[in-house]
Amino acid sequence: MIVGVGIDVVDVARFVKTIERAPGLRDKLFTAQERDLPPASLAARFAAKEAIAKALGAPGTMSWQDATVLRVVGGQPEVQIRGTVAARAAELGIDRFHLSISHDAGIASAIAVAERDPA
């Protein structure tokens, strides 16, 4: 059963300028596993985290560090959640996310679907 859907779009060049202007944002927004990715991939992960937050109802109490978006060679990206994100997902009964991310022509986008088993 689908509990929530989120979508986000990021202008890659604008995102890169923001990260360059405020380098501490890289550490605030991304986990150690994500930080060294190319700029377009970072923008796509930022879009994915925004989409996940929207699928969870966008509570302002969640930490960016509590979600890691992983690339799976030959498969869909995966999200690992913990802390505040896992707590919100548990509150809603969500046991899995479906995630699609893309970046092309200067735009990064992501869609997240939050799902729980029907009971």
Here the tokens at position 99 are 């995630």
Per-residue pLDDT of 5-61, as tens digits, reads 999 999 999 999 999 999 899 999 999 999 999 989 999 999 999 999 999 998 778
pLDDT beyond 90 at 74: no
C-alpha to C-alpha distance for 23 and 11, rounded to whole angstroms: 18
2-115: what fold? Ribosomal Protein L22; Chain A (3.90.470)
Locate 41 and state its tokens.
């991939």
- The per-residue pLDDT for 102 is 92
Q: Are 42 and 19 in contact (CB under 8 A)?
A: yes
Tell me what pLDDT residue 71 has: 87
Dihedral over alpha carbons 18, 87, 90, 112 (to 10 degrees): 0
Q: What is the pLDDT of residue 50?
A: 95
Nearby residues of 80 by Cβ (< 8 Å), 6 or more positions away: 67, 68, 70
| Residue 88, pLDDT above cutoff 90 | yes
